Structure 1
């Protein structure tokens, strides 16, 4: 995956954050934008907005909530993104690791998932791993 370069020539991971809960969006944006190798391009509140903005901004990674405007909005958005043949990695945000919707997200093309109560470090590591095609398979 080709990342953009910052002024020092260092590669940056370009991100979109998609979650319908404003406090979660703000928290993730704050945490990720403080990382020197990450640039938050957009912060959106729905799957349809994520698809629309991704088609324009072409991020490396989208951190995507599964349940937004509909219970499966994240899965539907991932499916739409994959059908557009844009080189994007989708990391799913969820409350439950064994949820059927998580499996549906992987079937749609998600790269990895993180639990919403994960530490900032775990979320950052998941984004970096996805951007570098190194996402682990979790139990």
Structure 2
């Protein structure tokens, strides 16, 4: 992430929504809108060209939709994170977006301050999830038990659930970031999740 500002690309097929978001984000000292896109294909082009920190992604768009675009962005190998901002709260779309690699899920009826907080949370390595989305994810699939994890993996997952980034976890447990990543990789494999968002939700569900 840029040391000065969080660089954001806005993706929505409605120009008026992009304009409103651009005005909202433009009024902050720490967030900068560096690009816009009206569909998933344009989103991938903008991300490849601009390498933003965060993409604010709508889901329902003509052509390539937001879920497909999110998956393509994550498969591109770039470090850009995708934060969904949509009007849909049905389980199918929520699960589809998160499985595709989105790190957060917000609804368009959110307070403007919540949108700004969500972008900042993503930039810190956290996963802002609307309560409706969280309920869908927590109830989606039964998972393995904590008995399959080592004590250290449990400790690391507990801190992921609290929203701590790897550097903060390393400092809290007095271990290296490389060791934190190793524990996370092992834990993800054991509990069958693909990223820290799913891991945090698994930890919440299993009361870790």
Scaled by the length of structure 1, what TM-score is found? 0.88
8 Å contact 2:70–2:82 — kept in the other structure? Answer: yes
Which residue in 1 is equivalent to 2:114?
122
Which residue in 2 is equivalent to 1:16?
9
What runs of 5+ residues in structure 1 fail to find an aligned partner?
Answer: 6-10
What runs of 5+ residues in structure 2 fail to find an aligned partner?
Answer: 136-208
1:25 aligns with 2:18: yes
Q: Mean Cα displacement is larger for which, 127-136 or 28-37?
A: 127-136
Runs of 4+ in 1 over 2 A off after TM superposition: 96-99, 136-139
Find the structure with the greater CA-based Rg.
Answer: 2
Alignment map for 1:35-46 (pairs within 5 Å): 35-46=28-39
Q: Structure 1 64/136 Cα, relative in aligned 2: closer, same or farther at 3 Å?
A: closer
8 Å contact 1:29–1:43 — kept in the other structure? Answer: no
Alignment map for 1:1-139 (pairs within 5 Å): 3-5=1-3, 11-70=4-63, 73-137=65-129, 138-139=134-135
Aligned length: 131
Cα distance in structure 1, aligned partners of 2:91 and 2:16: 23
8 Å contact 2:6–2:53 — kept in the other structure? Answer: yes
Q: Offset of 1:4 from its aligned partner?
A: 1.7
Instruction: Tell me which of the two structures has the higher relative contact order, counting C-alpha pairs closer than 8 angstroms and 6 or more residues apart.
Output: 1
The secondary structure found in structure 2 opposite 1:36 is coil
Scaled by the length of structure 2, what TM-score is found? 0.60
